[in-house]
Structure 1
Amino acid sequence: MLDAQLNPKIIESAEHEDRTRCRAVHAYLPPYPQDAEDRGIQGQVYVEFSVMPDGRSRNPRIILAVPQGTFERSVRDGLLHSEFVSAPAERSPIQCTMFYRFVMEGAVGYSRLDAYVEETLAHARAGDPRAQMLYGMLLVGLPQLNKPRSQALPWFLKSAQAGMPVAQYQVGYSLLKGWGCNCEENKGLDWLRRAAQAGQPDAEVTLAMYALKGSPDQERLRQARLWLEQAAAGGSHDGKLYLSALLATASEAEGGDPRRALTLLGEVFRGVKDDPTAFEIRAAAQASAGEFREAVQSERQAVAMAQRLKWDVTPLNERLTHYMGNQPWRRSLLDF
């Protein structure tokens, strides 16, 4: 058992955010991946993502995918093209979760959703740490259940105490955000470090983003890059994404490296042609390298894609103005 002093103080039905904004107004369901269908592969994905005031999602973060490398792109594509409840422009982004199941039509031996939930709960009650973590994800990730984070957190905590790094990340992130519990940053950071030390990439990325909050000094920049390098080295999509954005916007004195940013970007977005984020980072890297004409072209492509997706393009146009004036972008690209 881990130190009980690290346990969150759970608050019944507490969300600290308006989860109605996580409801999809128009959900885009991408086709079943052809390769998976041909091979008879079924699976599940749990994802966290931000919904902006414009009602569109940004940077879906895959927390669990079974099997790995099969359905992640379909989930990211589905969220990119879905529409959620919008809010006034001055509101902050909201963090949301979703649980996807990929089941082939007519599949034999693959439980119906209600039976799957009950089976998972039975295993969780029997003390299976993986089932405890999975049941927590089902509670907050399935729109059909729509349970508050406070009901999922005890299951995440049981799994985390048993040493599951993904569950430790869930507890740490909940404490950091005040999801279903009191917001206690120090406790949250402790859980995140435990998960990160076990190689959990989402914890590594979250610790990096925490270090970059506000106006980070050189030491915090060093810490952030260290965590992102660790996540990227482990093959993390988000580790490479955030590292590429950091390298594209940092000055040379701060350790910026636009060429490496472009290399990482190519790995993250290989085969992806309609996500404005890829072109945003590319434009920033090109501008940082002094290639302003190319940066303007890339940013204009990002703006055009964002308009088709019905994003608020105000921040994109601000960056475009910088590049047109031969100025690099030195602020964050991924404030969500």
Structure 2
Amino acid sequence: MKRILLVALFVIVGGVLPAHASFDKAMQDYTEGNFAEAYRSFDALAAIGDYSSAFNIGVMYFRGEYVERDPVEAWAWMQLAASQSGAENMTQTAGKIFAKFPPGAQEAAQMRLEELMHSHGKDKLLADLNPVMLSDEECDIERTPLEKEPPRYPRMELKRGRFGRVVLEYSVMPGGHVRDVTVAQSSADSFAKAAGESALSYRYEPAAVAEPTSGVKTAVTFNIAGPVGNKRRLVAELNEWKDKAEAGDPVAQYVYAYRLGVFRSFRKHMKGVDLEYRTANKWYLQAAQQGIPQAQFEIGRNMVMGRGCKADVKNGLKWISAAAVGGIPEAQKYLATSTGAMPEVERREHAIRWLKNAALNGHYFSGLLLAWELVSGPEQASEEELLLAEELVAAEPVDYFDRVRILETKAAVAAAGADFKTAQHLQQQAIDTAERLEWDLRDVNHRHETYLRSEKWSGPYYYDIELEPELQQASVN
């Protein structure tokens, strides 16, 4: 039996929504004996219809790897995979296991299979994972920009006559200023630096929300020829990707959808071009269904936030989890910071696990978040945790421009190591920087007071971000 299971285990059978690269990563964890990570990955992939992963969950139940040995549960997962994929080797393996069950176990196994069909069957997943598309007017979740000062053209690039483009992603705070400015794409480091630093001064209309609005994208172009020539270039570029997307290229489907989202910031210059979120979602979904992890993250995040579709947190997170398994650092960071009402001990363990994955993939922002988690828990950080946090904050920022968060994280790490003088100095620098940017100062002041008392900071980064009463009234008006 063991030999049969091993043969079936290594067969990659396309499910409803293939995720082959992600499956390979899960298989690598399995073959290396990292059963906990492998099980989590198989579970996330099975949730989007990868039935090879579902079968392997059955194998792990049959062998008692990470989970307790349970032949009934094992058969239910294997039979689910066999029935939904049509794979003959899976059917044969499941049949041999089922034949050895006594009548009572067979009945229990059939009942468990029915439960799995209701949650993981092909028709159910296709219904759950397809967002209910809505127009921008029906969603109405965008923050309204009030001020976007254009960046200064890098002198050297201007002399060379070079055209540049940068895609920024950031969060908008309730009060309207932006945080965590990150460069997602750029044509040159000089353009990225100019655009990233400029974005710190962006202002949006205040909103009575309880947390930052994340994943806001803006495209910044550096073009000597002017806006007319730039519009022609952008439209021609979009049409080129659209042709490839319509021909069925999944990578082009993702790129086209992504650029539709980015070019929303040029809507006033691109009248007549369909830049609605639901149009981008259509192409993200097609690419996600063909196993593009980046597209899985984008469609999942849009579902969670209700961008261009009805908000659906549960099923949006399924897509994001699959993207995280596929190694997308942004998806891993998203899971780390989207823990809902999870108990604190579990939340912290969950966050640290995903942030470590993202940081190992070279994601600077995740490394910064990881350092914060390591030192801001209720207990004193261990020597190993403190050492790792110190290494993370010592790294040079890569495509990340929120200097206030960098300074505050360094201050928190210093305080965790009982170096309160350094913590106070760094925190004061953060306060000075926030004042120059005219940002809300409550969070930074709370922490500075803590370090003055020679105490380390314990708790979340966004400790107190509600709008001031007058801003709440202005937002309502």
Q: TM-score interval w.r.t. the shorter chain? A: 0.7 to 0.9
Comparing 93-102 with 221-230, greater Cα deviation is found at 93-102
Check the 8 A contact 2:164/2:191 in 1, yes or no: yes
How far, CA to CA, are the matches of 1:262 and 1:38 in structure 2? 41
Contact 2:180/2:402 (<8 A) preserved: no
Which position in structure 2 is the counterpart of 1:235? 362
> Does 1:10 find its partner at 2:133?
yes
C-alpha distance after superposition, 1:278-325 (max 9, x if no partner): 111111111222222221111111000001011011111111111112
String of CA shifts for 1:32-88, please: whole Å, max 9, x gaps: 485x7899986654333111133321112444x2669775444432322x3222316
Q: TM-score, normalised by structure 1?
A: 0.84
Task: Answer yes or no: is 1:156 the counterpart of 2:279.
Answer: no
Query: Residues 39, 74 of structure 1: CA spacing in aligned structure 2 closer, same or farther, 3 A cutoff?
Result: same
Equivalent of residue 203 in structure 2, options 69, 84, 90? 84
> What secondary structure, in the 3-state scheme, does the structure 1 residue paired with 2:181 have?
strand
Report the AA paired with residue 233 of structure 2: R
Contact 2:183/2:400, CA 8 A, preserved across alignment: no
Quote the Cα distance in structure 2 between the aligned partners of 1:274 and 1:198: 27
2:217 maps to 97
| Contact 2:410–2:426 under 8 Å retained in 1 | yes
Q: Please, which runs of 5 or more residues in structure 2 have no aligned partner?
A: 1-15, 18-48, 50-125, 269-274, 466-477
Structure 1: gaps (5+ residues): none
Matched, 1:114 2:242: no
Q: Aligned partner of 1:217: which letter?
A: E
Q: Is the 8 A contact 2:167 2:218 kept in 1?
A: yes
**Cα RMSD (Å):** 3.3
CA, structure 1 residues 253+293, in 2 after alignment: closer, same or farther (shift >3 Å)? closer
Identity across matched positions, percent: 28
Counterpart in 1 of 2:266? 144
Distance 1:83 1:266, change over 3 A: same
Q: 1:158 to 1:264 in 2, by over 3 A?
A: same
Q: Does 1:26 align with 2:148?
A: yes
Give the Cα separation in 2 of the matches to 1:271 and 1:178.
27
Q: Report the residue type matching 2:352 in the other structure.
A: R
Shift of 1:105: 6.4
- Inter-partner Cα distance in structure 1 for 2:141 and 2:130: 24
Moved more, 67-76 or 285-294: 67-76
Taking the TM superposition and a 5 Å limit, the aligned residue runs for 1:304-323 are 304-323=432-451
For 2:401 and 2:280, locate their aligned partners in 1 and report how far apart those are by CA, in whole Å: 36
Once the two structures are TM-superposed, the CA of residue 267 in structure 1 deviates from its matched residue by 1.3
Q: Please give the alpha-carbon distance, in whole angstroms, between the structure 1 residues aligned to 2:250 and 2:161.
A: 28
Contact 1:259 1:285 in 2 (8 A): no
Q: Secondary structure at the match of 2:199?
A: helix
- CA change 1:219–1:171 in 2 (3 A) is same
Q: Which structure has the larger Rg?
A: 2
Deviation track 1:187-235 (CA, whole Å, cap 9, x = no partner) reads 1121112111111110100011123x45643233222111111110111
Q: TM-score, normalised by structure 2?
A: 0.61
Alignment map for 1:1-336 (pairs within 5 Å): 1-2=16-17, 3=49, 4-5=126-127, 6-13=129-136, 16=139, 18-21=141-144, 23=145, 25-32=147-154, 34=156, 44-63=165-184, 65=185, 72-80=192-200, 82-87=201-206, 92-95=211-214, 96-101=216-221, 112-142=233-263, 143-145=265-267, 147-211=275-339, 213-214=340-341, 216-252=343-379, 257-269=385-397, 275-333=403-461
In 1: Cα distance, 2:174 partner to 2:359 partner: 29
Letter in 2 for 1:262: E
Equivalent residues of 1:218, 1:254 under 8 A apart: no
Count how many residue pairs are aligned between Structure 1 and Structure 2.
Answer: 329
Q: Which amino acid aligns with 2:149?
A: A
Call closer, same or farther: CA 1:167–1:272 in 2, change over 3 Å: closer
Q: Distance in 2 between matches of 1:271 and 1:236?
A: 9
Whether contact under 8 Å (1:98, 1:141) holds in the other structure is yes
Q: What amino acid maps onto 2:134 in structure 1?
A: I
